[in-house]
Amino acid sequence: MKILTVIGARPQFIKAAVVSRAFREHRPDVQELLVHTGQHYDANMSDVFFDELKIPRPAHNLGIGGGTHGQNTGRMLEKLEELMLLEKPDWVLVYGDTDSTLAGALAASKLHIKVAHVEAGLRSFNRRMPEEINRILADHVSTLLFAPTRLAVKNLRDEGVPSEKIHPVGDVMCDAAVFYKQHARKPIWFDSLCLDIDKFVLCTVHRAENTDDPDRMRGIFQGLEKSGIPVVLPLHPRTRAKLKQMNLVLPSNVHGVDPVGYLEMIWLEANCRLVATDSGGVQKEAYFNKKYCVTLREETEWIELVEAGLNDVVGSNPEKIAEALQSGRKFLSESYLYGSGQAAEQIIARLVKTVEVKTVADRISQD
- Strands 201-204, 231-234: parallel, antiparallel or unpaired by DSSP? parallel
**Is pLDDT at 145 greater than 50 in this prediction?**
yes
- Taking a C-beta distance cutoff of 8 angstroms, is the pair 94, 119 a contact? no
- Asked whether the predicted pLDDT for residue 10 surpasses 90, the reply is no
CA distance 81 to 103: 9
Which residue in 284, 291, 313, 323 sits closest to 198, CA to CA?
Answer: 291
For residues 304-318, average pLDDT: 94
Residues 72-127 have pLDDT tens digits of 999 999 999 999 999 999 999 999 999 999 999 999 999 999 999 999 999 999 99
Mean pLDDT over 318-326 rounds to 97
Q: Pick the catalytic residue: 40, 117, 167, 206?
A: 206
- Please write the tens of the pLDDT for every residue from 271-301: 999 999 999 999 999 999 999 999 999 999 9
> Measuring CA to CA, which residue among 135, 72, 145 is closest to residue 115?
145
Residues 6+ apart with CB under 8 A from 78: none
Other beta carbons less than 10 A from residue 115's beta carbon: 22
Write phi, then psi, for 363 (nearest 5 degrees).
-65, -45
Residue 353: pLDDT band (50, 70, 90) is confident
Provide the residue type at 138 as one letter: A
Q: What is the pLDDT of residue 363?
A: 46
pLDDT above 70 as % of the chain: 93
pLDDT band at 49 (very low <50, low <70, confident <90, very high): low
Give the Å distances, CA to CA, from 367 to 13, 246, 360, 361, 364. 43, 69, 11, 10, 5
Active site residue 206: yes
For 2-171+339-366, CATH number? Answer: 3.40.50.2000
Domain edges within the chain: 2-171+339-366, 186-326
pLDDT at 292: 94
* Whether pLDDT at 362 is above 70: no
* Model pLDDT, residue 47: 65
The CATH class of the 186-326 domain is alpha beta
Q: What does the buried/exposed string (b/e) look like for 312-324 if buried means 16 or more CB atoms within 10 Å of the residue's CB? A: bbbbbbbebbbbb
Segment 148-172, tens digit of pLDDT:
999 999 999 999 999 999 999 999 9
* pTM of the complete model: 0.83
Q: What does the angle CA 81 – CA 86 – CA 92 come to, to the nearest 5 degrees?
A: 60
Average pLDDT, the chain: 91
| 342-347 mean pLDDT | 94
The predicted-structure confidence for 170-216, as pLDDT tens digits, reads as follows: 999 999 988 888 899 999 999 999 999 999 999 999 998 999 999 99
Domains 2-171+339-366 and 186-326 share a fold: yes
Report pLDDT for 366.
54
- pLDDT tens digits, one per residue of 22-39: 999 999 999 999 999 987
Residues composing the chain: 367
